[in-house]
C-alpha cells in the first residue's frame, strides 16, 4: 500500500504496525482511537502539527528496518 495523506489511520496501522510507535512518539493519540477508521493521516498530522512527509519518511524507515530483520 502506498501511503498518502488521504489514507485512514486505521489503514496505516493495519498495513504498517510499526507506525503505531511512531504515532505515539509524536504524541499522536490515534492508536486505538474510535475515529481512526474515518480520520486520515493527513488530517491527524494537521491536528498534531506533524509534517506528513516527515511522518511518512519515519514510517518507511521503520518498515524497512523491520524487513531487514
Q: Where are the domains of the chain?
A: 9-68
Cell of residue 33, nine digits: 482511537
Does 32 score more than 90 pLDDT?
no
Q: What is the pLDDT of residue 1?
A: 77
The reported pLDDT for the residue numbered 3 is 92
Query: Cβ–Cβ contacts within 10 Å for residue 38, how many?
Result: 11
> Of the candidates 30, 17, 29, 26, which has an alpha carbon nearest to the alpha carbon of residue 55?
26
Nearest one of 15, 42, 16, 20 to 31, comparing CA atoms = 20
Q: Give me the mean pLDDT over the 7-19 stretch.
A: 94
Q: Which residues does residue 40 pair with via DSSP β-bridges, in sequence order?
A: 8
**Rounded to an integer, what distance in angstroms lies between the CA atom of residue 48 and that of residue 54?**
13
Q: For the segment 33-67, what is each residue's pLDDT rounded down to a tens digit?
A: 899 999 999 999 999 999 999 999 999 999 888 87
Amino acid at each position: 500500500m502506498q501511503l498518502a495523506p488521504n489514507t485512514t489511520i486505521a489503514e496505516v496501522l493495519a498495513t504498517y504496525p510499526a507506525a503505531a510507535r511512531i504515532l505515539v512518539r509524536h504524541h499522536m493519540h490515534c492508536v486505538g482511537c474510535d475515529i481512526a477508521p474515518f480520520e486520515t493521516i493527513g488530517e491527524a498530522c494537521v491536528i498534531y502539527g506533524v509534517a506528513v512527509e516527515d511522518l511518512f519518511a519515519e514510517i518507511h524507515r521503520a518498515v524497512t528496518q523491520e524487513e531487514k530483520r
